[in-house]
Amino acid sequence: MIQLYIPLNFLGVMYREIKQSLTDLDKMFTLMDREREVADAPSAQALVVPPEGAALCFENVHFAYDPARPILKGISFDVPAGKTVAVVGPSGSGKSTLARLLFRFYDIQQGRITLAGQELRQLTQGSVRQAIGIVPQDTVLFNDTVEYNIAYGRPGASRAEVEEAASAARIHDFIAATPKGYATMVGERGLKLSGGEKQRVAIARTLLKNPPILIFDEATSALDSANERAIQAELSSVAQNKTALVIAHRLSTVVDAHEILVMEAGQIIERGTHAQLLAANGRYATMWALQQSGEAA
C-alpha cells in the first residue's frame, strides 16, 4: 500500500506543480498575445525623458477594440510633467482603456498620443514600458517570496532597498509581522493577501522601479475610510514629482489633482479642478454629492 501511496502522492504533487506552471504560462501568453498586437516601427527610437520629466498628451484619440464598437471618441487632454490628472466616470466609460493605450497594448485608430513630445507609435515599446509604472486595480503576484515580488520592480535591488520601498508603501510592518518575513511565499500557493495589501505590494514595486510616468488604477473595492486615507497617502508619496494619470473610483482621491476629467461613453464631458467642477454644478458635482451622502449614511 505504502509502495503505491508514495508514487501516487508524488503524482499528486507533480500534477499540482504542472497545473500551476500552466496557469503561470497561461497568464504569460495572455500578456504576450496582447503585446503581439502592436509592433515597433522599423524606425522606432527610444523614448528620451528630459530632466524635468515627461508630459503626456492625448490629441483627438479615437479607439475601438472591435471596429463595430467605438470606445474612445475624440479624447484630448494633457498631463504636464510632474502633475497629476485624474479620470472619473461610470464603469465602462473607457477610463482603463486610456491606461492600456498609454502602455501601448493597442494602437489607436485616429489621433496622437505623445510622451515628452515624442509620438508613441514612433517609440520602442521597451523604452515606453521602462518609463511607465502601473499600479493596477488587480495586481498579479508571482508564486514566489514577498521580496521577489517587490524586487521585480527593479531586478537586482538590495534587501535594504526592498524594505525601504515596502515602508513607503506601508506594507513593511505587515510583512515583518509574518513568521518568515520577506521570505514568505505569496500568490496562489502562498500567503493570500487582501486587495489592499496586493495593491501596496504593487506600489512598493513601482517605487523601486521609480519611473517618470505613473498610472494608478484605483481598486474598485470598497475601502473603509481609514484604509482609503492610507491609500491616498501612499498614492501621493508615489506620485511626487511624477507625471501621473489616476483612474479613480473614489472622488476623495482626486480633489488635489491638477485637472479632473469626467468621462462618459468614451468622451470627456466635463473637466477642471475639483473647485471648478463643483462650481459648475454639473455631473461631477452630482457624483460628489452622491458620494458624500453615501459616506454619511
Residues making contact with ligand ATP (CB under 6 A): 65-66, 71, 91-97
Edge-to-edge order in the sheet of strand 110-115 = 72-79, 56-63, 110-115, 118-119
Contact 280, 272 (CB under 8 A): yes
- Residue (97 or 139) nearer to ligand ATP, CB: 97
C-alpha cell, 142: 508571482
Beta strands in 146-266 (DSSP E): 213-217, 243-247, 259-264
Beta strands in 103-171 (DSSP E): 110-115, 118-119, 132-135
E strand or H helix at 28: helix 2-36
State the minimum distance, in angstroms, from the CB of residue 30 to ligand ATP. Answer: 11
- Residue (71 or 175) nearer to ligand ATP, CB: 71
- Residue (99 or 120) nearer to ligand ATP, CB: 99
- Residue (3 or 91) nearer to ligand ATP, CB: 91
By three-state DSSP, how is residue 53 classified?
coil
State the minimum distance, in angstroms, from the CB of residue 246 to ligand ATP. Answer: 12
State the minimum distance, in angstroms, from the CB of residue 95 to ligand ATP. Answer: 4
State the minimum distance, in angstroms, from the CB of residue 220 to ligand ATP. Answer: 7
Contact 83, 258 (CB under 8 A): yes
- Residue (105 or 142) nearer to ligand ATP, CB: 105
State the minimum distance, in angstroms, from the CB of residue 287 to ligand ATP. Answer: 13
Using CB atoms within 10 Å of the CB of residue 212, give its burial: 0 to 12 exposed, 13 to 18 middle, 19+ buried: buried
State the minimum distance, in angstroms, from the CB of residue 61 to ligand ATP. Answer: 13
Q: Distances from the Cα of 31 to the Cαs of 43, 48, 186, in angstroms?
A: 25, 25, 21
State the minimum distance, in angstroms, from the CB of residue 92 to ligand ATP. Answer: 4
Contact 35, 100 (CB under 8 A): no
Phi, psi of 199 (to 5 degrees): -65, -35
- Residue (47 or 263) nearer to ligand ATP, CB: 263
Q: How far apart are CA 243 and CA 111, in angstroms?
A: 21
- Residue (84 or 145) nearer to ligand ATP, CB: 84
